[in-house]
Amino acid sequence: MKIKEVIQSKFNLATILILMLLIASCKQETQAPTTENKIPELIDRELYFGNPDKIQIRISPDGEYFSYRAPLEGVMNIWVAPIDAPDQANPVTKDTLRGVFAYVWSYKPGILLYAQDVGGDENWHVHKVNVETKQDEDLTPFENILGPDGVALVDPNTGKTVRPRAEILSVSKEDPNNILIRLNKTDPQSMDIYKISLDTNSLEMVLKDNAYAGVTPDNLNRVRLASKMVPEGGMIVYKIDGNKANEYMKVPQEDLMTFGFLGFDKSNENVFVSDSRGIDKAALFKMNLESGEQELIAKNDKADITNVLVNPITYEVDAYEDNYFRSKWVALSDDLKEDLKYLEEFNDGDYGVYMRSVDDKTWIIAYDSPKEFLKYYKFDRDERKAEYLVSSKPAFDNVQLSNMYPLEIESRDGHTLVSYLTIPSEMDNNGSTESPAPMVLLVHGGPWGRDGFGFNGMHQWLANRGYVVLSVNFRGSTGFGKEFINIAAEEWAGKMHDDLLDAVDWAVDKGIADKDKVAIMGGSYGGYATLVGMTFTPDVFACGVDIVGPSNLETLLNTIPPYWKSIRTMFVHHIGDPETPEGKSLLNERSPLTYVDSIQKPLLIGQGANDPRVKQSESDQIVAAMNERSIPVTYVLYPDEGHGFARPENNLSFFAVTEMFLSKHLGGRYQEIGDDFEGSSIEIKDAGNLKELNKIKS
C-alpha cells in the first residue's frame, strides 16, 4: 500500500476521480548487487499495516509551530508543538474512530483545518482547530440535505439519508482570514462554492454550481475559472466574474485528462496550465487570461508535466516534476538549481517538497525509496543543508527490505508499459530470479492513476512472504500522455486486460514467475481487474483478491455519487453508455458478473459497507451469483469502512485473511492470524475455501 503524501492540490480532472518494474530488453536503470540467499525474518504484519509513528510533518506558515499526524490511543490525530520545542508536541484533535486522514495549515495564525467523514462515506465535514486553545469547531455541521418540503432526502440505493459533502478548495496567504470550500448542502448534485470566515465561521455562497467539474480560485480567494463537461465530449472553460460565467475556451475530449490549471501568478492575471492540446504529453504553460496567449515554460518527451513547485514569494513556478520511471525535480530558475542538485545528491531516494515557508528559507522534504520508509528533513536554504527530523516508521530501519526495479514491457500491439518489479531479497539476482517463483500481479486503482517508484508497503509485505510482485501501468494509466489514456476508451476488460496478461507473459518468459502460481490482486479498478481475471481468463491466475471492485459496469455507472454527476460524461466515454442499447450491451459484455460461471479458481473479496463509489451491492451480487452456482468464495465485509479500509485494525484483519488465502493457493509464507481480528469490525459473510476463518472470528 503506497504511503505518499499529497504534495499539493491540482486542478487536473484526473485527480477528481479520487481516487488509489528492467527495461524490456532487461537493462536495468540501476544495477543492484546480488544478495545472499538468506531467507529474511518474517516481519510482523502490523509494521506494514499499522499506524505510522509520525507522518505529514509541517511547520506553520508563520513559523511558530511544528506539527504532524500521529496515533493517540491508537487513532491518528494531529499533534502540534512550539517550533523551538518539537519534542513537546500535544494532540490538538481527539478523534476516536477513523482518525484524521490529512490536514492543512491556514494562513491565519494558530489555525489549522482538516476534514472528516463518517465510516468512510466520504461526506466530509470541514473542521477548524485553534492549536492554542485546542478548540475544534465543525465549520459545516450539516447532517442532512433537505428537499423542497423540508424533509431529509433519502438515497434510493442505500435507503440512508443523504449527508452533505464539503471539500476544502483554497487557503490563501493574501486572504488569511477566509477559506473557500465546495459544499452540496442544498442539492446532492451541486457542489456550490462558499467562503468561510475563520473569525466568525459564517458561510457565504460565492458561486452557485452549474455542473462544474472543477473550479480555480486565484491568490485572493476569488473564483476565476470553472470547467464544465459537455454531452458531446470534452469541456468548456468559463471565466467567472461574480456570478456570471462567460465561455472562455474549449478543451477537446482527447485532452480532458491531460489538461488542468495549476494556480495563478502574483498578478492574478496569468494562470499556469498543464496542457496537451496539439501535443501528446502535457506541457507546462503560462496563460494570460485577457489575451488567451500561452507561453511554453517546459515540456517532456516521455511524461506529462502535472506537478510543480510554486515560489511562495513571487508565485512563479520555479520547478516541475519529471516522472517517467522515477520522480525528478527540474529547476526553472537559477536560484533553485543548486538547491535541487543538493537535495538530489543528499539521498538515493526520490524527494518531495511538502512545505516551503512564507519567506522560502525553510523547506520540509521527505525521501521516498523502495528500501527506506518515509523520512523527513528540514532544509535550510541559506545554509544549503538538510537536517533529519523524523522517520514515519523507524522500525523499518531494522528489517531487510527488497529492491524495486523500474522496467518497460511491450504490449502485444506495440505500446510501452512502464512497470515496477519487486523481487524477494533472498531470490534477487540483479533483477531476476534463479528459478520461477510465485508472483502477485498488483493492479492499481482508478484506472486513471499510476504506479510509481518508491516505498510500497504492499510490495514489501508480499515480497517478505516469498512472492515476486509486479505492478503495471496498463493503458489508461495517467502520466504518459493523452494517447496512452485515450486508447483505453471502452477497453475495460478488453485491451486494458490484455496489457496485464502481456505483463504476466513477460514475467513467465523471463523465468521470473511460475505460470501456475500467479495471483491477481487490487483495489477499486484493480478489484475489477481481479474479477475480470477470474472470469475472462480463468486459466491464467491461480487465485484473485478483489478489494472494493465493481462486478457490473452498468450498475456501477447508475450508482455513482450524485456529486460526480458533473464528470459522469467522462465515465461514459471511457467505459460505456448505460443509456443506449449499444452502450448497455458493451457494459454487459465487459462485466465480470456476466461470466460468473467461468470462475474456476479461489477468490477473496473485501468490501466496505459505506463505499460511495463502488457500492456494497457490487460485491453482494457476484457473491450471490457464485453461491447460487455453488462456486466457493471468501467474502469479508466491514460495516465501518468505505472505498478501502482506513482503520488499522481493519487493515490488519483483511491482510491477515489475504495472507492466509495467498499462502494456501500460492504456497508462500504466512504469519498466523493470532489477535489480528481484535478491534476490527470484520464480518465474514462467506468463508469459502478458508473455513478456519469462522473459528478464528468466533
Residue 551: pLDDT over 80: yes
pLDDT one-digit tens code per residue, 657-687: 999 999 999 999 999 999 999 999 999 999 9
At 330, the amino acid letter reads V
What residues have CB less than 8 Å from 165, skipping those under 6 apart? 122, 123, 124, 183, 184, 191, 563
Query: Spelled out in words, what is the top-level CATH class assigned to the domain 54-209?
Result: mainly beta
Placement of cell 455513482 in the chain = 560
Q: Check the CA dihedral 24-26-28-34 and report its sign.
A: positive
The per-residue pLDDT for 149 is 87
Bridge partners of 2, per DSSP, are 456
Q: Which residues are part of the catalytic machinery? A: 524, 611, 643
The per-residue pLDDT for 697 is 62
pLDDT one-digit tens code per residue, 47-88: 999 999 999 999 999 999 999 999 999 999 999 999 999 899
Per-residue pLDDT band for 21 (boundaries 50, 70, 90) equals: very low
Residue 17: pLDDT over 50: no
Bridge partners of 363, per DSSP, are 356, 379
Per-residue pLDDT band for 157 (boundaries 50, 70, 90) equals: confident
Q: How far apart are CA 487 and CA 481, in angstroms?
A: 11
Bridge partners of 441, per DSSP, are 470, 520
Q: How far apart are CA 656 and CA 690, in angstroms?
A: 12
Placement of cell 469547531 in the chain = 137
Model confidence, pTM: 0.93
Per-residue pLDDT band for 698 (boundaries 50, 70, 90) equals: low
Decide if 353 contacts 310 (C-beta within 8 A): no
Residue 30: pLDDT over 60: no
**φ, ψ for residue 485, nearest 5 deg:** -75, -45
Superfamily of domain 21-43+400-547+646-697: Alpha/Beta hydrolase fold, catalytic domain (3.40.50.1820)
Extents of the domains making up the chain: 21-43+400-547+646-697, 54-209
Decide if 123 contacts 115 (C-beta within 8 A): no
Q: How far apart are CA 79 and CA 653, in angstroms?
A: 27
Q: How far apart are CA 534 and CA 547, in angstroms?
A: 14
- CB count, 10 Å around CB of 85? 9
Decide if 614 contacts 549 (C-beta within 8 A): yes
Cell of 670: 504466512
pLDDT one-digit tens code per residue, 302-355: 999 999 999 999 999 999 999 999 999 999 999 899 999 999 999 999 999 999
CA dist list (Å): 433 to 439, 456, 468: 12, 20, 9
pLDDT one-digit tens code per residue, 217-246: 999 999 999 999 998 899 999 999 988 999
Q: Check the CA dihedral 329-470-16-641 and report its sign.
A: negative
Least confident of 150-159, 380-389, 588-597: 150-159
Average pLDDT of the chain is: 92
Residue 376: pLDDT over 70: yes
pLDDT one-digit tens code per residue, 160-196: 889 999 999 999 999 999 999 999 999 999 999 999 9
Residue 3: pLDDT over 60: no
